[in-house]
Amino acid sequence: MGAWSVEPFGNDVAADWAWELEEESDWAFIDDALTDALEDLEEIDQETAIIAVAAAEVVAHGLGHATQCDAYTEEVEAFIGRAGRPSEETVALALAALAAAGGAGSELAAEWADAGDTGWVEAMDELRAALTA
């Protein structure tokens, strides 16, 4: 996975995906990433789940409740400056996608469980709380 932390942008896939925000100016891009995680709840591949978690973090930033603020989220802040606040529908999508990314059909959740690191579950709980604050 190329992870260096349990944070939403603490891995290669999410960090690379953040650069794609540079060309975006509305929430449709985020909605698409979140929707991808909901297409097959029985089997969510690792990359789709990683991007869904990162997209949920973008939504948290848009709500003013970011759980990660560092060099990896600078492009997220620039995107929020262009796109503004997310809609209630986008927030609901983020919550559903986050649940899917941490659910029984998620390769990502299985990998973190196999690693025995409870920090990832705690980070996802923090993100979920940020989305509902």
pLDDT tens-digit readout, 16-43:
999 999 999 999 999 999 999 999 888 9
The C-alpha atoms of residue 122 and residue 129 are separated, in whole angstroms, by 11
Domains of the chain by residue range: 12-132
Write down the pLDDT at residue 1: 54
pLDDT recorded at residue 41: 81
Q: Which string of DSSP letters, residue by residue, matches 15-68?
A: HHHHHHGGG--STHHHHHHHHHTTS-TT-B-HHHHHHHHHHHHHHHHHTT--S-
Contact 101, 52 (CB under 8 A): yes
C-alpha–C-alpha distance, residues 4 and 111, integer Å: 14
- How many whole angstroms separate alpha carbon 54 and alpha carbon 15? 9
CB contact burial 69-103 (16+ within 10 A = b; e otherwise): eeebbebbeebbeebeebeeebbebbbbbbbbbbb
Written as one letter, the residue type at 103 is G
Structure token digits, residue 14: 């999410």
Tokens describing residue 69:
């603020």
Instruction: Write out residues in the chain with pLDDT < 50, as ranges.
Output: none
